[in-house]
């Protein structure tokens, strides 16, 4: 399922910044797919921790860091996945409280291709 969502996210990531800004459906699809892909990654990570007999962390970013501590995921990958959780939170809570000079459309558009690569790699490793 994660691979399917990442494939859909890859299609959305292929749109230009102009299409992303002007196409409400493109932007909303990207936002929803990021949320879904990160949520599915969190589920995979929680299952891996459970199978390994490790404790369930209190927060979403800690899930990936605990995978690294358990030796189930490389630390750099865990930190990048924690960053994906941060992106998901920005989408859910709005971008306004983070940096007033930030252009959310540009920021999101720039992150999509990297997120696709990250999630594909995470899916392969888990």
What pLDDT sits at residue 7?
A: 93
Angle CA 62–10–87, to nearest 5: 30
Q: What is the pLDDT of residues 18-56, one digit of tens each?
A: 988 888 899 899 999 999 999 999 999 999 999 999 888
Highest mean pLDDT among 21-25, 107-111, 117-121: 117-121
Q: Mean pLDDT throughout 89-114?
A: 76
For the chain, give the mean pLDDT.
Answer: 88
What pLDDT sits at residue 99?
A: 62
Write the burial class of residue 53 (CB in 10 Å: 0-12 exposed, 13-18 middle, 19+ buried): exposed
Q: In the chain, where are the structural domains located?
A: 2-125
CA distance 86 to 67: 17
Six-digit token string for 47: 């299952």
- Does 100 score more than 90 pLDDT? no
Q: Mean pLDDT throughout 115-121?
A: 92
What pLDDT sits at residue 98?
A: 57
Host H or E run for residue 97: none
Closest residue by Cα to residue 107 from 118, 96, 121: 96
Q: What is the CATH number of domain 2-125?
A: 1.20.120
Give just the sign of the alpha carbon dihedral 95, 89, 4, 70: positive
């Amino acid at each position: 399922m994660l691979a399917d969502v990442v494939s859909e996210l890859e299609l959305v990531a292929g749109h230009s910044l102009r299409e992303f800004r002007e196409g409400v459906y493109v932007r909303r699809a990207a936002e929803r797919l990021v949320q879904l892909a990160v949520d599915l990654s969190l589920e995979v990570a929680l299952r891996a921790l459970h199978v390994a007999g490790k404790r369930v962390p209190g927060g979403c970013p800690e899930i990936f860091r605990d995978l690294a501590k358990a030796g189930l995921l490389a630390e750099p990958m865990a930190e990048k996945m924690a960053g994906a959780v941060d992106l998901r939170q920005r989408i859910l809570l709005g971008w306004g409280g983070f940096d007033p000079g930030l252009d959310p459309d540009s920021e999101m558009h720039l992150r999509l291709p990297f997120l696709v690569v990250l999630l594909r790699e995470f899916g392969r490793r888990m």
